[in-house]
Amino acid sequence: MKRRVYLNHLSGTPLAPEVHEAMRPFFEEHHHGLAAREAIATARGQCAQLIGGTPEEILFTSSGTEANNLAIKGTAFAQRERGNHLVLSNIEHPSIEQSITWLEENGFEATRVPVDSEGFVSPKAIADAVTDKTILIATHHASHDLGTIQDIAAIGTIAAKRGIPFLVDATASGGWLPINLAANISLLTLAPHRFGGPQGAGILYRNRRAPLAPIIHGGAQEDGLRAGTENLAAIVGAGAAAALPIVDVTVLQHQLHDGLLKTIEPVRLNGAELGAGRLPSHLNYSIEGIEGEGLALALDLQGIGIASGAACVTKNLAVPPALTAIGLDAALAKGNVLLSLGRDTTAADIDHVLEVIPKQVDKLRSLSPAWDA
């Protein structure tokens, strides 16, 4: 039997045993009335504690994507009389980028601030993009595609000085990095399925002063801001995941990175260097002479799960926009692979991956006439 190693935690993590145990009673019997309300209240408190907020500031949605949609569109609609301009980086998650594109088709305007060669967006460039009509600044905490961590404290200061709501997409970093709401954050989104929780639940932190209008109508759930019957089991699971201790996988990240640099030549790390500027669970490489999708498929046959292409976008062979934004040429961008560690990853797993990946890279290169040339 092939050894199975999963290095695609950014797409979704296995359900943590503690989370499964917390959810189990809500699968086995129906909870309603006071018991259901108490379970949701407990989960709300657990999610608030993860980021240093209060339970009243936590809204539950069906996913991180829905949370981003609500934050973007809800903020825009709530402030239409104040202005119609939004500011974001040019490497945001599709749920941010496409929400804003939709707003642009409906009378709003947006400025996309370029990032540098490592994926960092300049706070000064954000400030320069702000106008008197700006009603939202939106950026990620850590890039899904590049792993680069933005200076949200500096950006938050800019937003606060101008009285502009500030949205932080923490759906890649939540559960992996500490989050400080003192950075003048108005809205923040989390995706529990990326830190040991279930699919089917998303989290939106909303400062009570942040203007927000609902985009789903039909009920009074979530303080009237997100109608629809609550997914009770998933919400309980989200809370249980939020209560898990943050796991430091930095040692494993370095083990994998150093091993790949020693065994594959040439290979390029995309995004920030390892350290304070990079998500500790995240590695993104471009490997010359192969296509990333081909390597991902070859490794899958060997029992190793990784990703290729844009994070969160499956069945899409297009070059990830983030790689274009940092100036990577098309040939290297097509050789892109993304490896993301989890709380279940072990040193033995990394050793096994370092045995298998170089062999598969050599095999794919041997089939390429261009590489031989």
Query: Known catalytic residues?
Result: 312
Residues 345, 341: Cα–Cα separation, whole Å: 6
DSSP state of 141: S
Between the alpha carbon of residue 354 and those of residues 226, 255, 365, the distances in Å are 45, 9, 17
Please name the amino acid found at residue 251. V
With tokens 């209060």, the residue in question is 54
Between the alpha carbon of residue 200 and those of residues 130, 167, 187, 193, 308, the distances in Å are 35, 22, 20, 8, 24
3-state secondary structure of 69: helix
Between the alpha carbon of residue 263 and those of residues 190, 356, 361, the distances in Å are 36, 11, 10
Q: Which has the closest alpha carbon to 176: 197, 204, 155?
A: 197
Pairing of strands 109-113, 85-89: parallel
Give residues with Cβ within 8 angstroms of 290, minimum separation 6: 335, 361, 364, 365, 368
The DSSP annotation for 96-119 comes to HHHHHHHHHTTT-EEEEEPB-TTS
Please name the amino acid found at residue 126. I
Cis ω before 266 (30° cut-off from 0):
yes
User: Which element (helix H / strand E) includes 322?
Assistant: helix 321-325
* 3-state helix, strand and coil shares in percent for the chain, rounded to the nearest 5: 40, 15, 45
338, 308 contact by CB (below 8 A): yes
With tokens 């609550």, the residue in question is 230
